[in-house]
Copies of this chain bind each other. A is one copy, B any other.
Amino acid sequence: MTDHVQTFAALRNHLHQTALLASAAELLQWDERTMMPPDGSEFRAAQVAYLSGRAHAMRTSEQIERWLDELDGWSAASDPASDIGATLRLTRKDYEKQRRLPGQLVEAIASATVRGQGCWDAARRNDDYAQFQTALDEMISLQRNAGELLAEPGQSTYEALLDQYEPDARVEDLTRVFAGLRDELVKLLSEITASPRQVDDRLLKQTYSVDGQRQLSKALAAAIGFDFQRGRLDETSHPFCTSLGPSDCRILTRYEENWLPGSIFGTLHEAGHGMYEQGLPQDWYGLPPGSFVSLGIHESQSRLWENLVGRSLAFWKCFTPLINETFSETATPAQWHACFNRVQPSLIRVEADEATYNLHIIVRFELEQALISGELSTAELPFAWNERYTSVIGVSPPSAANGVLQDVHWSAGLFGYFPTYTIGNLVAAQLYQAADAALGNLDRQFEQGDFAPLLNWLREHVHTHGRKYTADELIQNATGKPLSAEPLIASLRQRYAQVYDLESSPG
Protein backbone atom coordinates (compact mmCIF):
# COMPACT_ATOMS: atom_id res chain seq x y z
CA MET A 1 0.00 0.00 0.00
CA THR A 2 2.67 2.49 1.06
CA ASP A 3 4.60 1.44 -2.03
CA HIS A 4 1.69 2.40 -4.20
CA VAL A 5 1.37 5.77 -2.48
CA GLN A 6 5.07 6.46 -2.98
CA THR A 7 5.05 5.32 -6.59
CA PHE A 8 2.03 7.48 -7.32
CA ALA A 9 3.73 10.46 -5.67
CA ALA A 10 6.76 9.93 -7.91
CA LEU A 11 4.58 9.69 -11.03
CA ARG A 12 2.60 12.76 -10.02
CA ASN A 13 5.80 14.70 -9.39
CA HIS A 14 7.12 13.72 -12.82
CA LEU A 15 3.90 14.89 -14.47
CA HIS A 16 3.97 18.09 -12.41
CA GLN A 17 7.52 18.82 -13.51
CA THR A 18 6.51 18.18 -17.10
CA ALA A 19 3.74 20.75 -16.64
CA LEU A 20 6.25 23.26 -15.19
CA LEU A 21 8.38 22.90 -18.30
CA ALA A 22 5.46 22.90 -20.75
CA SER A 23 3.90 25.98 -19.15
CA ALA A 24 7.23 27.82 -19.35
CA ALA A 25 7.20 27.03 -23.09
CA GLU A 26 3.69 28.48 -23.22
CA LEU A 27 4.94 31.71 -21.64
CA LEU A 28 7.72 31.90 -24.22
CA GLN A 29 5.07 31.70 -26.93
CA TRP A 30 2.66 34.15 -25.29
CA ASP A 31 5.49 36.63 -24.90
CA GLU A 32 6.56 36.09 -28.52
CA ARG A 33 3.09 37.12 -29.70
CA THR A 34 2.62 40.07 -27.36
CA MET A 35 5.86 41.50 -26.00
CA MET A 36 9.01 40.21 -27.67
CA PRO A 37 11.11 42.72 -29.63
CA PRO A 38 11.15 42.10 -33.40
CA ASP A 39 14.62 40.61 -33.65
CA GLY A 40 14.08 38.11 -30.84
CA SER A 41 12.39 35.47 -33.05
CA GLU A 42 15.30 33.23 -33.92
CA PHE A 43 16.51 32.60 -30.39
CA ARG A 44 12.94 32.37 -29.15
CA ALA A 45 12.27 29.57 -31.62
CA ALA A 46 15.29 27.72 -30.22
CA GLN A 47 14.05 28.24 -26.63
CA VAL A 48 10.58 26.95 -27.45
CA ALA A 49 11.90 23.98 -29.39
CA TYR A 50 14.27 23.03 -26.58
CA LEU A 51 11.72 23.28 -23.77
CA SER A 52 9.02 21.54 -25.83
CA GLY A 53 11.47 18.81 -26.72
CA ARG A 54 12.37 18.30 -23.07
CA ALA A 55 8.67 18.16 -22.13
CA HIS A 56 8.05 15.62 -24.91
CA ALA A 57 10.95 13.50 -23.66
CA MET A 58 9.45 13.55 -20.17
CA ARG A 59 6.02 12.55 -21.50
CA THR A 60 7.47 9.58 -23.36
CA SER A 61 9.94 8.48 -20.70
CA GLU A 62 9.79 4.71 -20.17
CA GLN A 63 9.85 5.40 -16.45
CA ILE A 64 6.18 6.34 -16.80
CA GLU A 65 5.32 2.86 -18.03
CA ARG A 66 7.22 1.30 -15.14
CA TRP A 67 5.36 3.42 -12.59
CA LEU A 68 2.03 2.65 -14.24
CA ASP A 69 2.78 -1.08 -14.26
CA GLU A 70 3.67 -0.94 -10.57
CA LEU A 71 0.39 0.82 -9.88
CA ASP A 72 -1.64 -1.74 -11.81
CA GLY A 73 -4.43 -3.08 -9.63
CA TRP A 74 -4.06 -0.41 -6.94
CA SER A 75 -7.40 -0.19 -5.17
CA ALA A 76 -7.24 3.62 -4.91
CA ALA A 77 -7.46 3.73 -8.71
CA SER A 78 -10.41 1.39 -9.09
CA ASP A 79 -12.90 4.19 -9.77
CA PRO A 80 -11.98 5.40 -13.26
CA ALA A 81 -13.57 8.80 -12.57
CA SER A 82 -11.65 9.41 -9.33
CA ASP A 83 -8.65 11.74 -9.41
CA ILE A 84 -6.21 8.87 -9.09
CA GLY A 85 -8.17 6.53 -11.35
CA ALA A 86 -8.42 9.12 -14.10
CA THR A 87 -4.76 10.07 -13.75
CA LEU A 88 -3.54 6.51 -14.21
CA ARG A 89 -6.00 5.63 -16.97
CA LEU A 90 -5.41 8.75 -19.06
CA THR A 91 -1.68 8.96 -18.44
CA ARG A 92 -1.38 5.46 -19.86
CA LYS A 93 -3.54 6.40 -22.83
CA ASP A 94 -1.49 9.53 -23.54
CA TYR A 95 1.76 7.68 -23.07
CA GLU A 96 0.80 4.92 -25.46
CA LYS A 97 -0.39 7.41 -28.08
CA GLN A 98 2.81 9.39 -27.85
CA ARG A 99 4.96 6.27 -28.04
CA ARG A 100 3.14 5.02 -31.10
CA LEU A 101 4.61 7.77 -33.28
CA PRO A 102 8.28 7.19 -34.08
CA GLY A 103 10.54 10.19 -33.45
CA GLN A 104 11.44 10.26 -37.13
CA LEU A 105 7.80 10.77 -38.14
CA VAL A 106 7.28 13.45 -35.49
CA GLU A 107 10.31 15.30 -36.82
CA ALA A 108 9.21 14.85 -40.44
CA ILE A 109 5.82 16.34 -39.56
CA ALA A 110 7.41 19.23 -37.68
CA SER A 111 9.65 20.05 -40.59
CA ALA A 112 6.83 19.58 -43.15
CA THR A 113 4.78 22.00 -41.06
CA VAL A 114 7.41 24.72 -41.33
CA ARG A 115 7.74 24.12 -45.09
CA GLY A 116 3.98 23.75 -45.54
CA GLN A 117 3.18 27.00 -43.82
CA GLY A 118 5.79 28.80 -45.89
CA CYS A 119 4.35 27.42 -49.16
CA TRP A 120 0.79 28.10 -48.06
CA ASP A 121 1.63 31.66 -47.12
CA ALA A 122 3.28 32.32 -50.49
CA ALA A 123 0.49 30.55 -52.38
CA ARG A 124 -2.16 32.61 -50.63
CA ARG A 125 -0.26 35.85 -51.22
CA ASN A 126 0.12 35.03 -54.91
CA ASP A 127 -3.33 33.50 -55.18
CA ASP A 128 -1.66 30.45 -56.69
CA TYR A 129 -2.82 27.09 -55.35
CA ALA A 130 -0.15 25.24 -57.35
CA GLN A 131 2.55 26.67 -55.05
CA PHE A 132 0.96 24.85 -52.14
CA GLN A 133 -0.13 21.59 -53.77
CA THR A 134 3.12 19.61 -53.42
CA ALA A 135 3.54 20.58 -49.76
CA LEU A 136 -0.08 19.61 -49.14
CA ASP A 137 0.45 16.23 -50.79
CA GLU A 138 3.46 15.62 -48.58
CA MET A 139 1.55 16.64 -45.45
CA ILE A 140 -1.44 14.44 -46.29
CA SER A 141 0.83 11.47 -46.77
CA LEU A 142 2.57 12.08 -43.41
CA GLN A 143 -0.74 12.56 -41.61
CA ARG A 144 -2.15 9.42 -43.20
CA ASN A 145 0.90 7.58 -41.94
CA ALA A 146 0.43 9.04 -38.44
CA GLY A 147 -3.28 8.21 -38.45
CA GLU A 148 -2.58 4.61 -39.38
CA LEU A 149 -0.09 4.25 -36.52
CA LEU A 150 -2.41 5.95 -34.04
CA ALA A 151 -5.61 4.13 -34.98
CA GLU A 152 -7.11 1.87 -32.32
CA PRO A 153 -8.94 -1.27 -33.44
CA GLY A 154 -12.13 -0.17 -35.19
CA GLN A 155 -10.89 3.39 -35.74
CA SER A 156 -10.43 4.73 -39.25
CA THR A 157 -7.28 6.63 -40.13
CA TYR A 158 -9.18 9.92 -40.14
CA GLU A 159 -10.84 9.08 -36.84
CA ALA A 160 -7.44 8.50 -35.28
CA LEU A 161 -6.38 12.00 -36.38
CA LEU A 162 -9.62 13.48 -35.07
CA ASP A 163 -9.01 11.65 -31.78
CA GLN A 164 -5.96 13.85 -31.13
CA TYR A 165 -8.24 16.88 -30.76
CA GLU A 166 -11.56 15.27 -29.88
CA PRO A 167 -10.79 12.06 -27.99
CA ASP A 168 -13.27 9.22 -28.47
CA ALA A 169 -15.33 11.06 -31.10
CA ARG A 170 -16.85 8.81 -33.80
CA VAL A 171 -17.02 10.02 -37.37
CA GLU A 172 -20.32 8.21 -37.83
CA ASP A 173 -21.98 10.15 -35.00
CA LEU A 174 -20.61 13.47 -36.17
CA THR A 175 -21.65 12.83 -39.75
CA ARG A 176 -25.22 12.14 -38.65
CA VAL A 177 -25.48 15.15 -36.31
CA PHE A 178 -23.75 17.48 -38.79
CA ALA A 179 -26.10 16.35 -41.60
CA GLY A 180 -29.16 17.28 -39.57
CA LEU A 181 -27.57 20.61 -38.70
CA ARG A 182 -26.68 21.31 -42.31
CA ASP A 183 -30.21 20.74 -43.56
CA GLU A 184 -31.71 23.00 -40.94
CA LEU A 185 -29.11 25.74 -41.44
CA VAL A 186 -29.64 25.78 -45.20
CA LYS A 187 -33.38 26.11 -44.59
CA LEU A 188 -32.89 28.85 -41.99
CA LEU A 189 -30.53 30.71 -44.26
CA SER A 190 -32.99 30.76 -47.13
CA GLU A 191 -35.66 32.15 -44.82
CA ILE A 192 -33.32 34.85 -43.59
CA THR A 193 -32.23 35.94 -47.05
CA ALA A 194 -35.86 35.94 -48.16
CA SER A 195 -37.01 38.02 -45.17
CA PRO A 196 -38.28 41.50 -46.00
CA ARG A 197 -36.58 42.78 -42.86
CA GLN A 198 -32.82 43.18 -43.36
CA VAL A 199 -30.18 44.50 -40.99
CA ASP A 200 -28.09 47.59 -41.66
CA ASP A 201 -24.87 47.28 -39.65
CA ARG A 202 -23.20 50.56 -40.57
CA LEU A 203 -23.37 51.37 -36.87
CA LEU A 204 -20.56 48.85 -36.31
CA LYS A 205 -18.28 50.33 -38.96
CA GLN A 206 -17.99 53.82 -37.52
CA THR A 207 -14.79 54.85 -35.81
CA TYR A 208 -14.47 53.40 -32.31
CA SER A 209 -11.42 54.43 -30.31
CA VAL A 210 -9.11 51.57 -29.43
CA ASP A 211 -8.88 52.91 -25.88
CA GLY A 212 -12.65 52.75 -25.53
CA GLN A 213 -12.72 49.23 -26.95
CA ARG A 214 -10.01 48.21 -24.51
CA GLN A 215 -12.00 49.49 -21.53
CA LEU A 216 -15.22 47.93 -22.76
CA SER A 217 -13.57 44.57 -23.45
CA LYS A 218 -12.05 44.44 -19.99
CA ALA A 219 -15.34 45.44 -18.36
CA LEU A 220 -17.30 42.78 -20.26
CA ALA A 221 -14.79 40.03 -19.50
CA ALA A 222 -14.85 40.93 -15.80
CA ALA A 223 -18.66 41.17 -15.80
CA ILE A 224 -19.17 37.62 -17.09
CA GLY A 225 -16.71 36.25 -14.57
CA PHE A 226 -13.18 36.16 -16.01
CA ASP A 227 -10.98 36.50 -12.92
CA PHE A 228 -8.33 39.18 -13.38
CA GLN A 229 -6.61 38.17 -10.15
CA ARG A 230 -5.78 34.99 -12.03
CA GLY A 231 -5.50 36.24 -15.56
CA ARG A 232 -4.91 39.11 -17.98
CA LEU A 233 -6.29 40.46 -21.22
CA ASP A 234 -3.83 41.59 -23.89
CA GLU A 235 -3.66 42.45 -27.54
CA THR A 236 -2.37 40.45 -30.49
CA SER A 237 -2.98 39.96 -34.18
CA HIS A 238 -4.43 36.44 -33.88
CA PRO A 239 -6.40 36.20 -30.61
CA PHE A 240 -5.96 33.15 -28.41
CA CYS A 241 -6.08 31.94 -24.81
CA THR A 242 -3.23 30.26 -23.01
CA SER A 243 -2.82 28.85 -19.54
CA LEU A 244 0.57 29.48 -17.93
CA GLY A 245 -0.32 27.95 -14.58
CA PRO A 246 -3.34 27.14 -12.44
CA SER A 247 -3.78 30.83 -11.59
CA ASP A 248 -2.36 32.51 -14.64
CA CYS A 249 -4.59 32.47 -17.69
CA ARG A 250 -3.87 34.92 -20.50
CA ILE A 251 -6.50 35.88 -23.04
CA LEU A 252 -5.88 38.04 -26.07
CA THR A 253 -8.04 40.04 -28.39
CA ARG A 254 -7.64 42.41 -31.33
CA TYR A 255 -8.87 45.97 -31.73
CA GLU A 256 -9.96 47.34 -35.10
CA GLU A 257 -11.01 50.95 -35.18
CA ASN A 258 -13.70 50.44 -37.81
CA TRP A 259 -15.13 47.08 -36.82
CA LEU A 260 -16.47 47.06 -33.29
CA PRO A 261 -17.67 43.43 -32.98
CA GLY A 262 -14.13 42.10 -33.51
CA SER A 263 -12.90 43.07 -30.06
CA ILE A 264 -16.20 42.56 -28.21
CA PHE A 265 -16.93 39.04 -29.39
CA GLY A 266 -13.26 38.13 -29.59
CA THR A 267 -12.96 39.05 -25.92
CA LEU A 268 -16.12 37.20 -24.86
CA HIS A 269 -14.94 34.16 -26.83
CA GLU A 270 -11.47 34.09 -25.28
CA ALA A 271 -12.88 34.88 -21.83
CA GLY A 272 -15.09 31.79 -22.22
CA HIS A 273 -11.98 29.70 -22.91
CA GLY A 274 -10.26 31.42 -20.01
CA MET A 275 -13.05 30.80 -17.50
CA TYR A 276 -12.93 27.11 -18.38
CA GLU A 277 -9.19 27.07 -17.64
CA GLN A 278 -9.81 29.04 -14.43
CA GLY A 279 -12.46 26.50 -13.39
CA LEU A 280 -10.28 23.41 -13.77
CA PRO A 281 -9.10 21.86 -10.48
CA GLN A 282 -5.97 23.83 -9.60
CA ASP A 283 -4.23 21.12 -7.62
CA TRP A 284 -4.12 18.93 -10.70
CA TYR A 285 -2.85 21.53 -13.15
CA GLY A 286 -1.37 19.80 -16.18
CA LEU A 287 -2.56 16.36 -15.04
CA PRO A 288 -5.74 14.69 -16.33
CA PRO A 289 -8.08 15.81 -13.49
CA GLY A 290 -6.92 19.41 -14.11
CA SER A 291 -6.98 19.34 -17.91
CA PHE A 292 -9.67 20.08 -20.49
CA VAL A 293 -11.66 17.27 -22.08
CA SER A 294 -11.28 18.05 -25.76
CA LEU A 295 -11.04 20.97 -28.13
CA GLY A 296 -14.78 20.67 -28.78
CA ILE A 297 -15.63 21.04 -25.10
CA HIS A 298 -13.14 23.91 -24.80
CA GLU A 299 -14.77 25.58 -27.78
CA SER A 300 -18.21 25.03 -26.28
CA GLN A 301 -17.22 27.30 -23.40
CA SER A 302 -15.99 30.08 -25.66
CA ARG A 303 -18.98 29.86 -28.01
CA LEU A 304 -21.44 29.75 -25.15
CA TRP A 305 -20.25 33.08 -23.74
CA GLU A 306 -19.65 34.63 -27.14
CA ASN A 307 -22.92 33.64 -28.80
CA LEU A 308 -25.51 32.27 -26.42
CA VAL A 309 -24.80 34.96 -23.84
CA GLY A 310 -23.04 37.77 -25.73
CA ARG A 311 -25.36 37.84 -28.74
CA SER A 312 -28.58 37.70 -26.68
CA LEU A 313 -30.95 40.63 -26.46
CA ALA A 314 -30.84 40.37 -22.65
CA PHE A 315 -27.08 40.88 -22.67
CA TRP A 316 -27.43 44.10 -24.64
CA LYS A 317 -30.29 45.28 -22.45
CA CYS A 318 -27.74 45.09 -19.66
CA PHE A 319 -24.75 46.62 -21.48
CA THR A 320 -26.26 49.20 -23.81
CA PRO A 321 -25.78 51.98 -21.22
CA LEU A 322 -22.10 51.05 -20.93
CA ILE A 323 -21.38 50.76 -24.66
CA ASN A 324 -23.31 53.97 -25.39
CA GLU A 325 -21.48 55.85 -22.68
CA THR A 326 -18.09 54.50 -23.76
CA PHE A 327 -18.54 55.66 -27.35
CA SER A 328 -21.07 58.50 -26.94
CA GLU A 329 -23.64 56.48 -28.89
CA THR A 330 -27.42 56.43 -28.63
CA ALA A 331 -28.43 53.10 -30.19
CA THR A 332 -31.07 50.97 -28.46
CA PRO A 333 -30.49 47.45 -27.13
CA ALA A 334 -32.54 46.11 -30.06
CA GLN A 335 -30.35 47.97 -32.55
CA TRP A 336 -27.09 46.69 -31.06
CA HIS A 337 -28.60 43.21 -30.88
CA ALA A 338 -29.72 43.28 -34.51
CA CYS A 339 -26.34 44.52 -35.75
CA PHE A 340 -24.47 41.88 -33.79
CA ASN A 341 -26.71 39.20 -35.31
CA ARG A 342 -26.65 40.23 -38.94
CA VAL A 343 -26.50 37.27 -41.33
CA GLN A 344 -24.63 37.53 -44.61
CA PRO A 345 -23.33 34.43 -46.38
CA SER A 346 -19.68 35.04 -47.19
CA LEU A 347 -16.56 33.34 -48.45
CA ILE A 348 -14.41 33.45 -45.34
CA ARG A 349 -14.97 31.15 -42.38
CA VAL A 350 -13.46 33.40 -39.73
CA GLU A 351 -15.73 36.25 -40.78
CA ALA A 352 -18.86 34.13 -40.94
CA ASP A 353 -22.01 34.73 -38.91
CA GLU A 354 -23.53 31.98 -36.81
CA ALA A 355 -26.06 30.90 -39.41
CA THR A 356 -23.37 30.04 -41.93
CA TYR A 357 -20.30 29.32 -39.78
CA ASN A 358 -21.02 25.64 -39.33
CA LEU A 359 -21.63 25.21 -43.05
CA HIS A 360 -18.02 26.32 -43.63
CA ILE A 361 -16.93 23.65 -41.17
CA ILE A 362 -19.07 20.91 -42.66
CA VAL A 363 -17.51 21.54 -46.09
CA ARG A 364 -14.04 21.14 -44.58
CA PHE A 365 -15.05 18.05 -42.57
CA GLU A 366 -16.21 16.32 -45.74
CA LEU A 367 -13.25 17.39 -47.85
CA GLU A 368 -10.54 16.46 -45.34
CA GLN A 369 -11.97 12.99 -44.86
CA ALA A 370 -11.85 12.49 -48.63
CA LEU A 371 -8.27 13.80 -48.76
CA ILE A 372 -7.07 11.44 -46.03
CA SER A 373 -8.88 8.43 -47.49
CA GLY A 374 -7.51 9.24 -50.93
CA GLU A 375 -10.93 9.58 -52.55
CA LEU A 376 -10.09 13.17 -53.35
CA SER A 377 -6.75 14.22 -54.83
CA THR A 378 -5.14 17.56 -54.14
CA ALA A 379 -5.47 18.32 -57.87
CA GLU A 380 -9.25 18.02 -57.58
CA LEU A 381 -9.46 19.85 -54.26
CA PRO A 382 -9.98 23.46 -55.48
CA PHE A 383 -12.83 22.37 -57.76
CA ALA A 384 -14.44 20.29 -55.03
CA TRP A 385 -14.09 23.25 -52.66
CA ASN A 386 -15.76 25.70 -55.00
CA GLU A 387 -18.52 23.25 -55.88
CA ARG A 388 -19.41 22.75 -52.18
CA TYR A 389 -19.31 26.44 -51.37
CA THR A 390 -21.69 27.17 -54.21
CA SER A 391 -24.10 24.38 -53.34
CA VAL A 392 -23.97 24.56 -49.53
CA ILE A 393 -23.37 28.23 -48.72
CA GLY A 394 -24.50 29.82 -51.95
CA VAL A 395 -21.32 31.75 -52.65
CA SER A 396 -18.68 31.00 -55.27
CA PRO A 397 -15.05 31.78 -54.43
CA PRO A 398 -13.59 33.98 -57.17
CA SER A 399 -10.05 32.95 -56.26
CA ALA A 400 -8.08 30.31 -54.37
CA ALA A 401 -6.94 32.91 -51.85
CA ASN A 402 -10.54 33.48 -50.80
CA GLY A 403 -11.35 29.82 -51.17
CA VAL A 404 -9.30 26.72 -50.57
CA LEU A 405 -6.26 28.69 -49.37
CA GLN A 406 -8.02 30.69 -46.65
CA ASP A 407 -7.16 28.52 -43.62
CA VAL A 408 -3.74 27.73 -42.18
CA HIS A 409 -4.84 24.40 -40.67
CA TRP A 410 -4.01 21.85 -43.38
CA SER A 411 -0.62 23.44 -44.02
CA ALA A 412 0.11 22.90 -40.33
CA GLY A 413 -0.97 19.27 -40.44
CA LEU A 414 -4.19 19.87 -38.53
CA PHE A 415 -6.47 17.28 -40.11
CA GLY A 416 -9.41 16.40 -37.87
CA TYR A 417 -9.29 19.77 -36.14
CA PHE A 418 -12.07 21.63 -37.99
CA PRO A 419 -15.02 19.56 -36.69
CA THR A 420 -14.17 20.60 -33.12
CA TYR A 421 -15.43 24.12 -33.94
CA THR A 422 -18.89 22.83 -34.80
CA ILE A 423 -18.87 20.40 -31.88
CA GLY A 424 -18.20 23.47 -29.75
CA ASN A 425 -21.23 25.28 -31.17
CA LEU A 426 -23.46 22.25 -30.71
CA VAL A 427 -22.36 21.57 -27.14
CA ALA A 428 -22.62 25.25 -26.22
CA ALA A 429 -26.29 25.36 -27.20
CA GLN A 430 -27.04 22.04 -25.55
CA LEU A 431 -25.40 23.05 -22.26
CA TYR A 432 -27.08 26.43 -22.37
CA GLN A 433 -30.49 24.86 -22.84
CA ALA A 434 -29.92 22.57 -19.84
CA ALA A 435 -28.61 25.41 -17.68
CA ASP A 436 -31.54 27.61 -18.63
CA ALA A 437 -33.96 24.84 -17.65
CA ALA A 438 -32.15 24.25 -14.37
CA LEU A 439 -31.64 27.88 -13.37
CA GLY A 440 -34.92 29.39 -14.45
CA ASN A 441 -34.89 32.40 -16.69
CA LEU A 442 -31.28 33.18 -17.63
CA ASP A 443 -32.36 36.14 -19.75
CA ARG A 444 -33.76 37.91 -16.73
CA GLN A 445 -30.48 37.29 -14.83
CA PHE A 446 -28.45 38.69 -17.75
CA GLU A 447 -30.60 41.81 -17.93
CA GLN A 448 -29.58 42.43 -14.31
CA GLY A 449 -25.93 41.72 -15.02
CA ASP A 450 -25.99 38.47 -13.07
CA PHE A 451 -23.84 35.89 -14.83
CA ALA A 452 -22.67 34.02 -11.74
CA PRO A 453 -25.43 31.38 -11.68
CA LEU A 454 -24.61 30.32 -15.25
CA LEU A 455 -20.88 30.28 -14.58
CA ASN A 456 -21.37 28.27 -11.41
CA TRP A 457 -23.54 25.78 -13.28
CA LEU A 458 -20.77 25.36 -15.88
CA ARG A 459 -18.16 25.02 -13.12
CA GLU A 460 -20.19 22.24 -11.53
CA HIS A 461 -21.21 20.38 -14.68
CA VAL A 462 -18.17 20.90 -16.88
CA HIS A 463 -15.08 22.61 -15.45
CA THR A 464 -14.64 20.77 -12.20
CA HIS A 465 -14.47 17.36 -13.88
CA GLY A 466 -11.32 18.07 -15.87
CA ARG A 467 -10.72 15.17 -18.23
CA LYS A 468 -12.35 12.55 -16.03
CA TYR A 469 -15.25 12.00 -18.41
CA THR A 470 -15.24 11.78 -22.19
CA ALA A 471 -17.00 14.54 -24.07
CA ASP A 472 -19.97 12.26 -24.71
CA GLU A 473 -20.23 11.28 -21.04
CA LEU A 474 -19.93 14.87 -19.93
CA ILE A 475 -22.70 15.99 -22.30
CA GLN A 476 -24.95 13.12 -21.26
CA ASN A 477 -24.36 13.81 -17.55
CA ALA A 478 -24.83 17.55 -17.83
CA THR A 479 -27.84 17.62 -20.17
CA GLY A 480 -29.39 14.19 -19.84
CA LYS A 481 -29.10 13.63 -23.61
CA PRO A 482 -26.48 12.63 -26.17
CA LEU A 483 -25.02 15.26 -28.49
CA SER A 484 -27.71 16.63 -30.75
CA ALA A 485 -28.18 19.45 -33.24
CA GLU A 486 -31.61 20.40 -31.95
CA PRO A 487 -30.63 22.87 -29.21
CA LEU A 488 -28.38 24.83 -31.57
CA ILE A 489 -31.02 24.91 -34.28
CA ALA A 490 -33.69 25.98 -31.79
CA SER A 491 -31.47 28.66 -30.35
CA LEU A 492 -30.51 30.13 -33.73
CA ARG A 493 -34.08 30.03 -34.95
CA GLN A 494 -35.26 31.83 -31.85
CA ARG A 495 -32.60 34.52 -32.10
CA TYR A 496 -33.05 35.12 -35.82
CA ALA A 497 -36.81 35.15 -35.34
CA GLN A 498 -36.27 38.27 -33.21
CA VAL A 499 -33.91 39.89 -35.66
CA TYR A 500 -35.37 38.85 -39.01
CA ASP A 501 -38.97 38.55 -38.02
CA LEU A 502 -39.08 34.82 -38.90
CA GLU A 503 -41.49 32.32 -37.48
CA SER A 504 -39.85 30.72 -34.49
CA SER A 505 -40.65 27.20 -35.62
CA PRO A 506 -39.36 26.08 -39.03
CA GLY A 507 -41.33 27.51 -41.95
Contact = CB atoms under 8 A, between A and B. Distances in A.
30 contacts: A17-B50, A20-B46, A20-B47, A20-B50, A21-B50, A21-B51, A23-B43, A24-B47, A27-B27, A27-B28, A31-B31, A35-B232, A37-B230, A37-B232, A37-B247, A37-B248, A37-B249, A38-B229, A39-B247, A39-B248, A40-B230, A40-B245, A40-B247, A40-B248, A42-B247, A43-B245, A43-B246, A43-B247, A43-B285, A44-B248
Nearest to A16: B46
Nearest to A232: B37
A235 to B, nearest CB: 13
A51 B37 contact: no
Interface string A91-110: 00000000000000000000
A20 B47 CA distance: 5
A219 interface: no
Contacts of A50: 17, 20-21
A228 B36 CA distance: 10
A27 to B, nearest CB: 6
A244 interface: yes
Interface in A1-34: 17, 20-21, 23-25, 27-28, 31
A424 interface: no
Q: Which of A31, A37, A42 has the most CB of B within 10 A?
A: A37
A1 to B, nearest CB: 28
B51 A24 contact: yes
A105 to B, nearest CB: 24
A28 B24 contact: yes
A228 B40 CA distance: 11
Contacts of A231: 37
Contacts of A232: 35, 37
> Which A-B residue pairs are the 10 nearest by beta carbons?
A43-B245, A40-B248, A39-B247, A20-B50, A39-B230, A39-B229, A20-B47, A38-B229, A40-B247, A24-B24
A316 B228 CA distance: 42
A285 B44 CA distance: 13
A369 B249 CA distance: 47
Contacts of A23: 43, 47
Q: Which of A40, A50, A232 has the most CB of B within 10 A?
A: A40
A241 to B, nearest CB: 14
A51 B20 contact: yes
Contact of A245 (B44, B228, B229): B44
A46 B40 CA distance: 26
A229 B37 CA distance: 6
Contacts of A42: 247
Interface in A141-186: none
A48 to B, nearest CB: 9
B43 A248 contact: yes
A278 B40 CA distance: 12
Contacts of A21: 50-51
A180 to B, nearest CB: 42
A40 B42 CA distance: 28
Contact of A248 (B24, B36, B244): B36
A221 to B, nearest CB: 13
Interface in A428-470: none
A125 to B, nearest CB: 24
Nearest to A282: B43
Contacts of A247: 37, 39-40, 42-43
Interface string A239-276: 00000111111000000000000000000000000000
